[in-house]
A and B are shown apart, each in its own frame.
Chain A
Amino acid sequence: MRELSSGPGRVLVAVYAVFAVAATGRSLVQLGTQADRAPLAYSLSLLAALVYLAATSCLLVGGRRGWWAALVAVLVEAAGVLVVGTLSYVATDLFPDRTVWSHFGQGYGFLPLVLPVAGLAWLRRTAPGRASAGAASR
């Protein structure tokens, strides 16, 4: 089994770390200064922050457990960006202010939409069951 944080994984960790910091900062400022303006949107910002933090740490920790935890984090992330992205178009009154995942991450160059796909692709390549296949092909 390849190291989760080496090779392409290293780039992935870097991008996830940036998003973890960005989303954490954003949600803390939003919740700290104007929590009652858009409680749902800001709570989702915080959830996004936690998911990015979890994904970053899991990739860094690595190993079989890290892989499974990373998979859960990335799946939650994918679901989050799809649900929040759709809702921000359909139910605009729920989101008076923007979050990381609003409009499928438009404010962040749609990277929040690309990131879970890249994450899943990387997890697929590093899947514990594929360890022997990966070793044989190298």
Chain B
Amino acid sequence: MNAVLLWLVLATSVVAMVMVVVHLVRDETAGDPTFAALAVAEVLLLVQAVVGSVALAGTDREISGVTFASYLWSIVLVLPIGAFWSLAERTRAGTAVLLVALLTVVALQVRLQTLWTAGA
């Protein structure tokens, strides 16, 4: 697993989270900069899914391949679905959905790393 990618994903997610929290506090809907940050995170997650799958195929670690791969590819779905669900209601609650999606990404990311290192 690529540690640089892991940290990039976490850093981007945290930046996006801060932006979302600012929106929540000011009671405004998320604008283009926030969705741009989400898009960056999504691209990183897609790269991670590909890199991670390649790493999984070539590793000798004792990793449950099914679980690891399902985490790897489930993460990719979280932000698009979250953004879609958020945009359906342009209110504070809709913005809060973005926070839920980002927290989910971070939780899955941590879990992914645990799965990888546990097999070392």
Contacts and interface: CB of A to CB of B under 8 A. Distances in A.
Is the A/B pair a real complex? yes
14 contacts: A6-B93, A8-B93, A10-B96, A11-B100, A13-B85, A14-B82, A14-B85, A14-B97, A14-B100, A18-B78, A18-B100, A21-B74, A29-B67, A109-B107
Interface residues of A, number: 15
Contacts of B104: 18
B28 interface: no
Interface centre among A8, A14, A33 (most CB of B within 10 A): A14
B100 A7 contact: no
Contacts of A15: 100
Contacts of B91: 7
A16 to B, nearest CB: 10
Shortest beta-carbon contacts, A-B, top 3: A14-B100, A14-B97, A7-B93
Query: Is the contact region of chain A dominated by helix, strand, or loop, or is it mixed?
Result: helix
A18 B64 CA distance: 22
B101 A14 contact: yes
A129 interface: no
A25 interface: yes
B117 interface: no
Given A6-B93, A9-B93, 12 more contacts: A7-B89, A7-B93, A10-B94, A11-B96, A11-B97, A14-B100, A14-B101, A15-B100, A18-B104, A25-B74, A29-B67, A33-B66
A18 B104 CA distance: 8
Interface string A22-65: 00010001000100000000000000000000000000000000
Nearest to B81: A17
Contacts of B88: 10
Contacts of A7: 89, 91, 93
B70 A11 contact: no
Contacts of A11: 93, 96-97, 100
Contacts of B89: 6-7, 10
A33 B66 CA distance: 10
A10 B85 contact: yes
Interface in B85-118: 85, 88-89, 91, 93-94, 96-97, 100-101, 104, 107
A9 B91 CA distance: 12
